[in-house]
C-alpha cells in the first residue's frame, strides 16, 4: 500500500544536519514546544482521536493512491506527534523526514481544517514544524535562498533598486503602446492606491505590471508605486519558519504604504502575498489588522467592473476554467467574486468541482514550489488530483489569479499533458475591456 518516497537529497537539509549540535537541538526543542507554541498545540494534540477523516481533504493523499503517509493526520504522526514524544532524542533521519514532510509535502492550504470534525488546524502544526526546522537550520536550499534575498534585498528575487525602477519605466512604455495616457506614477505621495507586487513580476513576468498600468489608466485611478524597497509584498520567510524576517519584510511594506500616505494597498494576483500582508505578518507584529486596507487584485477588478469604471467590450471565446487560490478563496472568501469576474469576461466559463472553499490546492503554494527544481517531480506527482479536476472541465484555458498557482498549474498541465493555456486574470481582462477612444489618443 505504502508508496516509498523517491529519495531526494536537499543540500539545505544535509548542511544543517552537519552543523547541528545536541545542545542546539535541546534548546530549540524547548523554545518551540515549551515557549512559542502554547494552547493550540496542546489542545490539538490532545483532541485528535485518530479518526482519519481529514485524509480525503488532502490532494497529496488523493494523488498518491490514498497512501496514508500522505494524509494530514499521517503527516502529523510523522512530525509533531513524534517530536512531542521524542523531544531532543529525535535522530537525524527523523529530522530529515520531518523537514521533507513539512516543507515539501504540505502546502499549508488549510483544506484539512474544514474536514477535521474538531476543526484542528493541521497546517498550523506543520508550520510549527517548519519553524522548528528553521531554528535548527534545516531548510530546503532554494527556499532558504529566497529568505536570504528577503533579508538582504527586501524582495524575494534579488532585484536591485536600479532594475526595479528600470523595469517600471519599461513597462510604462509597453502600456503606452496600447493606452498612450498610461503611466506608472512613482513615489506620488497622497495617491489613493499603492500598488504592490511580488518580486517574480519585475524579475520574470514584467508584462503583468504593464497590464495593471493599462487597467489603472482605463479605470482612471489615482495610484502610485514605491521607488524604494518595500514594494515587494511576497514573503517566503513566512513559509520557511523565519518569522523574524517575515515580520521585518511586512513592516517595511506597510511603512512604505504609510510613507506614501495612500488610502489602501492594492496588490497583484498572488495568494500567499495576501496572507503574509494581511494576516501572518500583522499577527507577528502584534497588529490585529493591517494599518490600512489591503485589497487583492480579484477584489479590485470586481470593484472596477461593478462600478462601471471598466466596461467589457467583448467576451473571450472558448472553454475557460479556474484555479482557485487557497489564500484568497479559503483565506478571503473571494469565490463568488471570482465567478462574477469569470462570467463577466468569458463566454464559456467551466466551473471546477469541488469548488470555492473546497477547491484543491495547486500543490505549489505554501512555499513548496520555492523548494526548487529538485522537488519538482515529487510535487507534480503529488497533484494528479488537480490534473483530473481540470481535465474534467474540458477547458482549453485555465485562469490562475495567483503566482504560485500559475507556476504550479503550468507544471501540472505540462506533465499530465492537459493541453491548456495558463493565464492570469489580467490577461483576460486586457483582451476583454473597452479602451475608450479618447484614451487611445
What minimum distance in Å lies between the beta carbon of 250 and another protein?
15
3-state secondary structure the chain: CCCCCCCCCCHHHHHHHHHCCHHHHHHHHHHHHHHHCCHHHHHHHHHCCCCCCCHHHCHHHHHCCCCHHHCHHHHHHHHHHHHHHHHHHCCHHHHHHHHHHHHHCCCCCCCHHHCCCCCCCHHHHHHHHHHHHHHHCCCCHHHHHHHHHHHHHCCCCCCCHHHHHHHHHHHHHHHHCCCCCCCCCECCCCCCEEEEECCHHHHHCCHHHHHHHHHHHHHCCCEEECCCCCCECCCCHHHHCCHHHHHHHHHHHHHHHHHCCCCEEEECCCCHHHHHHHHHHHHHHCCCCCCCCEEEHHHHHHHHHHCCCCCECCCEEEEEEECCCHHHHCCCCCHHHHHHHHHHHEEEECCCCCCHHHCCCCCCCCCCHHHCHHHHHHHHHCCHHHHHHHHCCCCCEEECCCHHHHHHHHHHHHHCCCCCEEECHHHHHHHHECCCHHHHC
Cβ proximity to another protein, 119 vs 436, nearer residue: 119
Only one of the segments 47-55, 139-147, 261-269, 426-434 lies at the binding site for another protein (rule: CB under 8 A); that segment is: 47-55
- Per CB under 8 A, which of residues 288..347 are in contact with another protein? 288, 329-333
**Distance (Å, rounded) from C-alpha 158 to C-alpha 277?**
20
Which residue from 46, 93, 417, 437 is in contact with another protein, where contact means CB under 8 A?
A: 46
Only one of the segments 23-31, 114-122, 150-158, 406-414 lies at the binding site for another protein (rule: CB under 8 A); that segment is: 114-122
Which residue from 357, 374, 381, 435 is in contact with another protein, where contact means CB under 8 A?
A: 357
Only one of the segments 14-22, 158-166, 201-209, 350-358 lies at the binding site for another protein (rule: CB under 8 A); that segment is: 350-358
What minimum distance in Å lies between the beta carbon of 76 and another protein?
8
Cβ proximity to another protein, 71 vs 171, nearer residue: 71
> Does the footprint of another protein cover residue 120 (CB under 8 A)?
yes
What minimum distance in Å lies between the beta carbon of 110 and another protein?
9
Only one of the segments 4-12, 141-149, 281-289, 409-417 lies at the binding site for another protein (rule: CB under 8 A); that segment is: 281-289
Which residue from 3, 51, 313, 377 is in contact with another protein, where contact means CB under 8 A?
A: 51
Only one of the segments 50-58, 137-145, 361-369, 387-395 lies at the binding site for another protein (rule: CB under 8 A); that segment is: 50-58
> Does the footprint of another protein cover residue 1 (CB under 8 A)?
yes
Cβ proximity to another protein, 53 vs 227, nearer residue: 53
Exposure class string for 193-204: b at 16+ Cβ within 10 A, else e: bbbbbbbbbbbe
> Does the footprint of another protein cover residue 152 (CB under 8 A)?
no
> Does the footprint of another protein cover residue 279 (CB under 8 A)?
yes
The site that binds another protein (CB under 8 A) totals a number of residues, namely 47
Cβ proximity to another protein, 210 vs 366, nearer residue: 366
Cβ proximity to another protein, 16 vs 281, nearer residue: 281
> Does the footprint of another protein cover residue 66 (CB under 8 A)?
yes
**Distance (Å, rounded) from C-alpha 242 to C-alpha 313?**
46
How would you list the strands of the sheet with 421-423, edge to edge?
346-349, 316-322, 397-399, 421-423
Locate 386 and state its grid cell: 488537480
Cβ proximity to another protein, 36 vs 88, nearer residue: 36
What minimum distance in Å lies between the beta carbon of 290 and another protein?
12
Only one of the segments 42-50, 200-208, 290-298, 428-436 lies at the binding site for another protein (rule: CB under 8 A); that segment is: 42-50
Only one of the segments 52-60, 181-189, 191-199, 215-223 lies at the binding site for another protein (rule: CB under 8 A); that segment is: 52-60
- Interface residues toward another protein, by CB under 8 A: 1, 37-40, 42-44, 46-53, 55-57, 61, 66, 68-69, 71, 73-74, 77, 113-115, 117-121, 279, 283, 286, 288, 329-333, 354, 357-358
Amino acid at each position: 500500500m505504502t508508496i516509498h518516497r523517491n529519495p531526494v537529497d536537499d543540500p539545505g537539509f544535509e548542511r544543517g544536519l552537519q552543523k547541528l549540535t545536541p545542545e542546539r537541538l535541546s534548546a530549540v526543542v524547548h523554545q518551540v514546544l515549551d515557549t512559542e507554541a502554547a494552547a493550540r498545540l496542546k489542545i490539538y494534540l490532545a483532541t485528535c482521536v485518530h479518526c482519519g477523516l481529514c485524509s480525503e481533504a488532502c490532494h497529496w493523499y488523493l494523488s498518491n493512491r490514498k497512501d496514508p503517509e500522505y494524509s494530514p493526520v499521517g503527516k502529523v504522526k510523522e512530525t509533531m506527534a513524534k517530536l512531542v514524544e521524542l523531544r531532543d532524542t529525535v535522530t537525524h533521519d527523523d529530522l530529515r523526514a520531518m523537514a521533507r514532510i513539512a516543507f515539501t509535502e504540505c502546502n499549508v492550504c488549510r483544506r484539512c481544517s474544514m474536514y477535521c470534525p474538531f476543526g484542528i488546524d493541521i497546517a498550523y502544526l506543520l508550520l510549527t514544524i517548519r519553524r522548528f526546522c528553521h531554528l535548527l537550520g534545516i531548510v530546503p536550499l532554494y527556499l532558504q535562498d529566497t529568505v536570504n534575498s528577503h533579508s538582504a534585498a527586501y524582495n524575494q528575487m534579488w532585484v536591485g533598486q536600479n532594475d526595479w525602477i528600470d523595469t517600471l519605466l519599461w513597462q510604462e512604455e509597453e502600456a503606452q503602446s496600447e493606452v498612450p495616457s498610461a503611466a506608472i506614477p512613482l513615489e506620488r505621495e497622497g495617491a489613493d492606491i499603492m500598488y504592490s507586487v511580488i518580486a517574480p513580476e519585475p524579475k520574470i513576468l514584467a508584462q503583468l505590471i504593464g497590464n495593471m498600468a493599462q487597467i489603472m489608466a482605463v479605470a482612471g485611478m489615482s495610484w502610485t508605486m514605491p521607488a524604494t524597497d518595500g514594494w515587494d509584498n511576497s514573503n517566503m520567510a513566512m513559509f520557511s519558519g523565519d518569522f523574524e524576517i517575515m515580520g521585518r519584510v511586512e513592516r517595511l511594506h506597510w511603512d512604505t504604504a504609510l510613507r506614501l500616505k495612500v488610502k489602501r494597498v492594492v496588490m497583484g494576483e498572488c495568494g500567499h502575498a495576501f496572507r503574509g500582508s494581511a494576516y501572518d505578518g500583522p499577527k507577528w507584529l502584534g497588529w490585529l489588522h493591517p494599518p490600512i486596507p489591503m485589497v487583492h487584485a480579484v477584489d479590485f477588478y470586481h470593484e472596477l467592473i461593478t462600478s462601471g469604471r471598466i466596461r467589457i467590450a467583448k467576451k473571450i471565446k472558448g472553454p475557460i476554467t479556474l484555479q482557485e487560490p487557497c489564500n484568497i478563496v479559503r483565506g478571503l472568501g473571494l469565490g463568488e467574486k471570482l465567478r462574477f469576474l469569470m462570467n463577466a469576461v468569458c463566454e464559456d466559463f467551466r466551473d471546477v468541482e469541488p469548488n470555492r472553499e473546497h477547491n484543491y490546492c495547486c500543490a505549489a503554494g505554501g512555499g513548496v514550489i520555492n523548494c526548487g527544481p529538485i522537488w519538482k517531480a515529487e510535487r507534480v506527482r503529488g497533484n494528479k488530483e488537480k490534473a483530473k479536476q481540470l481535465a474534467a472541465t474540458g477547458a482549453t484555458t485555465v485562469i490562475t489569479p495567483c503566482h504560485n498557482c500559475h507556476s504550479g498549474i503550468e507544471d501540472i498541465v505540462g506533465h499530465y499533458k492537459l493541453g491548456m493555456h495558463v493565464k492570469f486574470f489580467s490577461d483576460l481582462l486586457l483582451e476583454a475591456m473597452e479602451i475608450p477612444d479618447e484614451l487611445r489618443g
